[in-house]
Structure 1
Amino acid sequence: QLLSVVDNLERAIGSATDALEETSLLEGVKLTHKELLKLFESFSVKPVEAENQPFDPNFHQAVTHAQNNDVPDNTVTDVLQKGYLLHDRLLRPAMVVVSKRVETQTQEPTEEE
């Protein structure tokens, strides 16, 4: 149940960081987030590494594919929601966007060419 609290704190930090400069309210939210992550660590709850990693269905839940030739096929390009492990056991998979190579179509010459 605390995972959703951390998710909401991360969304609040992301929104405030994009819109505002550092304020005491934002600083307080960041400190609260940091303390929750320390609490998780003390109970062996760790985030799943996903960004720029090969897609692993054991730890990642693919939400969508994004065409991208800049990274290898089936690479996690974006994390929509962090996943977490408890003592190396999956609590929640990371919801991710996975790369898909752009198919280049070669045109066959027509009889006129």
Structure 2
Amino acid sequence: ALWKAWDEEDGDVKWDSPWGPGRPGWHIECSAMSTALLGDQLDIHCGGVDNIFPHHEAEIAQSEGVTEKKFVHHWLHCAHLLVDGQKMAKSLGNFYTVPDVVAKGYT
């Protein structure tokens, strides 16, 4: 989505537009920030494998549609660290820091 309609969960994060109050969508935010701060083309862009679709594909479409240049020369996508067969995540309660692992006796 290029534009996300405002809802109460967004709080004060909104701008008026011809389509009503809202904010830029996640994908266009990244395209806008990267081209504004780093230029029209990136040598390396990194992210998790879960960002390939739709996020990185949307960034490519948007950025290349505007600049007519190849957006990224090399992509680096990392797999997730698994703990007991699940993706490690704070929300799943299986998130460990290096000090946590050392405290458990691993070196």
Normalising by structure 1, we get a TM-score of: 0.22
Structure having greater relative contact order (Cα 8 Å, sep ≥ 6): 1
When Rg is computed on C-alpha atoms for both structures, the one with the higher figure is 1
Normalising by structure 2, we get a TM-score of: 0.23
> Which has a greater percent of helix?
2
> Which has a greater percent of strand?
1
